[in-house]
Amino acid sequence: MVYSIEDIIREVALQETTTDITVRRDILREFIYRGAAILTDATVLFPEVPYGVLDVKVEINTHLDVDYPVAEGASGREGRITWIPFNYSMEKAEGSFKITDEAKARGYDNLQYQTGVKSLARAFARKKNKNILEATVVGYTLTNATGGAWDGGTPKIVEDVTKAINTILESETADITMQEVGKMVVALPIKAFNLAAALTTIANLKMSYSDYLKGQYPGLKIVPFRELSLSTGLGGGDDGYVVVSGGDTGRHAVFRGGAIPLVEEKRDGAATKNIVRQYFTSKVVPDSSTVATSSRICRMSAILGTP
User: Does residue 212 form part of some domain?
Assistant: yes
Show the domain range for 30.
5-135+252-284
* Domain match, 22 and 68 both: yes
Indicate which CATH number applies to the domain containing 15: 3.30.2400
- Residues 211 and 226: their CA atoms lie apart, in Å, by 21
* Cβ–Cβ < 8 Å for 91, 280: yes
Asked if residue 62 is part of any domain, the answer here is: yes
CATH of the domain at 224: 3.30.2320.10
Give pLDDT tens digits for 88-127: 999 999 999 999 999 999 999 888 988 998 899 999 999 9
What letters, b where the CB count within 10 A reaches 16 and e where it falls short, cover 228-266? bbeeebbbbbbbbbbbbbbebbbbbbbbbeeeeebbeee
- pLDDT of 196 reads 97
> Alpha-carbon distance 120 to 39, whole Å?
11
**Res 145 pLDDT > 70:** yes
The reply to whether 90 and 206 lie within a common domain is no
Q: Look over the chain and give the mean of its residue pLDDT values, rounded to a whole number.
A: 90
Give a yes or no: residue 307 inside a domain.
no
For residue range 181-237, what is the model confidence (pLDDT) as tens digits?
999 999 999 999 999 999 999 888 999 999 999 999 999 999 999 999 988 788 889
Report the domain count for the chain: 2
* Residue 175: inside a domain: yes
Q: Are 275 and 214 members of one domain?
A: no
Tell me whether residue 306 is in a domain: no
Does one domain contain both 112 and 147? no
- The residues, ordered by sequence, that sit 6+ positions from 125 with a Cβ below 8 Å of its Cβ are 35, 36, 37, 38, 39, 40, 41
Query: Based on the domain organization, do 257 and 166 belong to the same domain?
Result: no
pLDDT band at 18; cut points 50, 70, 90: low
Claim to verify: residue 153 and residue 217 sit in the same structural domain: yes
Same domain, 175 and 78: no
The percent of residues above 90 in pLDDT, for the chain, comes to 66
Strand partners, 93: 278
| 230 and 257, same domain (yes or no) | no
CB burial of residue 123 (10 Å; 0-12, 13-18, 19+): middle
117 in the same domain as 262: yes
pLDDT in tens, 248-283: 999 999 999 888 999 999 999 999 999 999 999 999
DSSP code per residue over 189-249: -HHHHHHHTSEEEETTEEEEHHHHHHHHSTT-EEEE-GGGSSTTSGGGGS-EEEEE-STTT
The alpha helices in the chain, defined as continuous H runs, are 5-15, 21-39, 101-106, 109-137, 157-170, 190-196, 209-216
Q: Are residues 158 and 227 in the same domain?
A: yes
User: Cα–Cα distance between 247 and 132 in angstroms, integer?
Assistant: 13
Going 111 to 116 to 117 to 123, the CA torsion angle's sign is: positive
Q: Is residue 80 part of a domain?
A: yes
- The model's pTM: 0.89
